[in-house]
């Protein structure tokens, strides 16, 4: 009737509007999550597929140009989870949109890798490199295949050759360090990490990793170097627990080393004592009000005590 | 040679650790009760698994810290470090490498009859009905595969069912290893939460521990 408000219709439209706002919010939250994960480069493939699959199935039209990079992101995550159908769905869309693209060809190669069709994958990458010898992504995939096949020596050789050409590629230096560590070639791993520390002097993780390698190499000189670099890592980030524990361990071992002179012993006892105090503080802070953490704190206290006893 | 028995908790936690980091090699320690019921016929009952690392297994400083902490924790909980487990990062590689044998040797120094367990990556998916582990023991200073007849299961059907349910619920996301603990020391590497959930799922009661 004229003049009266149709409440049912009004309610429905309000509800529909609210739902739209909510879904908009949900959608932008999902899109932001995917972007954050892209930036952080985490390998949280399960979460990416959970969020990304829904996004591309239900909100494709709202994504605009973002959709292509999301297809790529979801495809790689899908390969990680053996979700081949989902991977193909993404790959299909990307092929349609970017025919002949090297970036998409690389994704095709990665799919072959996930199916363990390494020869087909290598053909794909060789094809890319013939057209573009500077394509670093294809070269790295070839090295990844060598890793997957357990051909570590060849992977190391190829990676070294790659780094002669692309000496600034930090990801590659880091990968090479890891390969050397796995082969127990700590001296060469240390060299790679030295390269990384030179170009990234403020990165506490490289300092800490380098210190761990030197510690593993052993001997008084390497222990002292490791103690210096654990300290350096702590200066750069005073919440790095590995560096704190590492400082404690390296200083303790140095102080109790029979070859250490009196000054070195005294200095390192000081460092170790300081580190122990900081470790205790950190665990006390972390354990406030939590039962399991109280166990941790007791364990740490006992550990520090036990290690001090062995020094005397 | 003595028998070894694997509890549901030890087995499931090893599998969850591997499931959490499928693209990496992982390792951890195995605990046993401090004293067996019958000293003349020692059967090693593996009561728990302590997940350690998923990064750079071949580096020593954090390993030393972890070994010390787990040792002290075990003693306080009436258990002892009795074994070591590792899953290699390569799918088809289930043989113990230098890292595995070195750490295994270290554990064996303090524990007679210690075991080294390699996860069989190919069998980790739920499709296989058999256990996805290869158990090694020390014979003549070498790690050799243990006779399968001497590897017992506290409750294989219950273990398998519990693992299926934990995997379906993605409980591996809850699992904390020592690396995770070092990233944030509020995280509990003894995994009280996972233990509790597991205790609710398994049919036979687990061995009495304080955790």
Q: What is the pLDDT of residues B188-201, one digit of tens each?
A: 999 999 999 998 88
* A150 closest CB neighbour out of B23, B58, B93: B93
Contact call for residues A118 and A148 (beta carbons, < 8 A): yes
CB contact under 8 A, B170 and A212: no
**What is the pLDDT of chain B when averaged over all its residues?**
89
The predicted-structure confidence for B119-131, as pLDDT tens digits, reads as follows 999 888 766 678 9
For residues B176-190, give the mean pLDDT: 95
pLDDT at B99 over 90: yes
Token pair, residue B29, equals 């320690």
The predicted-structure confidence for B43-59, as pLDDT tens digits, reads as follows 889 999 999 999 999 99
Q: Check residue B208 and give its pLDDT.
A: 47
Give the separation between CA A225 and CA A276, rounded to whole angstroms: 19
Q: Check residue A312 and give its pLDDT.
A: 44
Q: Check residue B210 and give its pLDDT.
A: 44
Give the separation between CA B208 and CA A41, rounded to whole angstroms: 42
Q: Check residue A290 and give its pLDDT.
A: 63
Q: In what order do the strands lie in the sheet with B4-6?
A: B142-145, B133-139, B115-119, B79-87, B26-33, B44-53, B4-6, B151-153
Q: Check residue A298 and give its pLDDT.
A: 74
pLDDT level of residue B18 (50, 70, 90 thresholds): very high
Pick the residue from chain A with its C-alpha nearest to B179.
A242
Question: Would you call B210 helix, strand, or coil by DSSP?
Answer: coil
Q: Check residue B36 and give its pLDDT.
A: 53
Contact call for residues B146 and B104 (beta carbons, < 8 A): no
On chain A, the residues whose CB falls within 8 A of the CB of B59 are: 181, 212-213, 215-216
* B59 closest CB neighbour out of A46, A216, A299: A216
Which residue ranges in chain A fall short of pLDDT 50? 1, 309-312
Pick the residue from chain B with its C-alpha nearest to A300.
B69
The predicted-structure confidence for A104-130, as pLDDT tens digits, reads as follows 999 999 999 999 999 999 999 999 999
Chain B interface residues (partner A, CB cutoff 8 A): 22-23, 56-62, 64-65, 68-69, 72-73, 76, 90, 92-93, 98, 170, 181-183, 185-186, 188-190, 192, 211
On chain A, the residues whose CB falls within 8 A of the CB of B60 are: 212, 215-216
Q: Check residue B37 and give its pLDDT.
A: 53
> Looking at this predicted complex, what is its ipTM?
0.91
CB contact under 8 A, B185 and A250: no
Give the separation between CA A76 and CA A91, rounded to whole angstroms: 10
Choose between B206 and A61: higher pLDDT: A61
Selected for mutation to probe chain A from B185, B195, B209 (highest A CB count within 10 Å) is B185
Q: Check residue B96 and give its pLDDT.
A: 96
Q: Check residue A301 and give its pLDDT.
A: 77
The predicted-structure confidence for B118-169, as pLDDT tens digits, reads as follows 999 988 876 667 899 999 999 988 999 999 899 998 789 889 999 999 999 9
On chain B, the residues whose CB falls within 8 A of the CB of A181 are: 56, 58-59
On chain A, the residues whose CB falls within 8 A of the CB of B57 are: 182
What Cα–Cα distance (Å) separates residue A85 from each residue in A75, A90, A111, A157, A223?
10, 9, 11, 35, 52
């Amino acid at each position: 009737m004229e003049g009266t408000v149709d409440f049912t219709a009004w309610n429905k439209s309000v509800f529909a509007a609210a739902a739209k706002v909510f879904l908009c919010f949900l959608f932008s939250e999902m899109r932001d999550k995917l972007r954050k994960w892209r930036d952080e480069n985490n390998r949280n493939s399960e979460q990416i597929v959970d969020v990304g699959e829904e996004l591309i199935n239900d909100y494709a039209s709202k994504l605009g140009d973002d959709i292509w990079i999301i297809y790529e992101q979801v495809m790689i995550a899908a390969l990680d989870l053996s979700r081949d159908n989902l991977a193909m769905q993404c790959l299909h869309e990307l092929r349609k949109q970017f025919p002949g693209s090297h970036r998409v060809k690389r994704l095709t190669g990665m799919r072959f890798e996930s199916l363990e069709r390494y020869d087909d994958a290598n053909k794909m990458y060789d094809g890319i490199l013939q057209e573009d010898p500077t394509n670093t992504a294809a070269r790295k995939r070839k090295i990844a295949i060598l890793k997957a096949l357990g051909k570590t020596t060849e992977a190391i050789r190829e990676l070294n050759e790659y780094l002669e050409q692309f000496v600034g590629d930090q990801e590659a230096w880091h990968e090479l360090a890891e390969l050397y560590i796995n082969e127990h070639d700590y001296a060469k791993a240390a060299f790679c990490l030295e390269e990384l520390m030179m170009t990234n002097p403020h990165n506490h993780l490289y300092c800490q990793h380098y210190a761990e390698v030197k510690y593993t190499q052993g001997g008084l000189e390497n222990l002292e170097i490791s103690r210096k670099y654990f300290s350096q890592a702590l200066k750069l980030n005073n919440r790095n627990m590995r560096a704190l524990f590492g400082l404690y361990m390296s200083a303790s071992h140095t102080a109790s080393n029979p070859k250490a002179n009196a000054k070195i012993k005294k200095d390192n006892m000081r460092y170790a004592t300081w580190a122990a105090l900081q470790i205790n503080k950190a665990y006390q802070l972390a354990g406030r009000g939590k039962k399991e953490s109280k166990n941790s704190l007791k364990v740490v206290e006992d550990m520090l005590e036990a290690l001090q006893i062995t020094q005397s | 040679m003595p028998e070894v028995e694997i509890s549901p908790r030890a087995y499931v936690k090893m599998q969850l650790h591997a499931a959490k980091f499928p693209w990496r090699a992982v390792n951890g320690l195995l605990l046993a009760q401090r004293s067996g019921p019958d000293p003349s016929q020692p059967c090693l009952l593996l009561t728990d698994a302590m997940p350690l690392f998923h990064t750079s297994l071949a580096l020593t400083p954090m390993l030393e810290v972890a070994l010390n902490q787990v040792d002290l924790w075990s003693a306080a909980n009436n258990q002892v470090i009795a074994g070591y487990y590792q899953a290699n990062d390569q799918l088809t590689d289930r043989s113990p490498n230098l890292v595995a044998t070195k750490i295994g040797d270290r554990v064996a120094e303090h524990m007679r009859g210690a075991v080294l367990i390699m996860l069989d990556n190919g069998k980790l998916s739920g499709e296989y009905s058999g256990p996805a582990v290869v158990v090694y023991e020390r014979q003549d200073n070498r790690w050799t595969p243990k006779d399968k007849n001497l590897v017992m299961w506290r409750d294989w059907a219950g273990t398998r069912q519990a693992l299926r349910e934990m995997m379906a619920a993605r409980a591996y996301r809850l699992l904390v290893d020592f690396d995770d603990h070092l990233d944030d020391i509020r995280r509990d590497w003894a995994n009280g939460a996972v233990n509790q959930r597991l205790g609710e799922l398994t049919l036979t009661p687990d061995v009495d521990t304080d955790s």
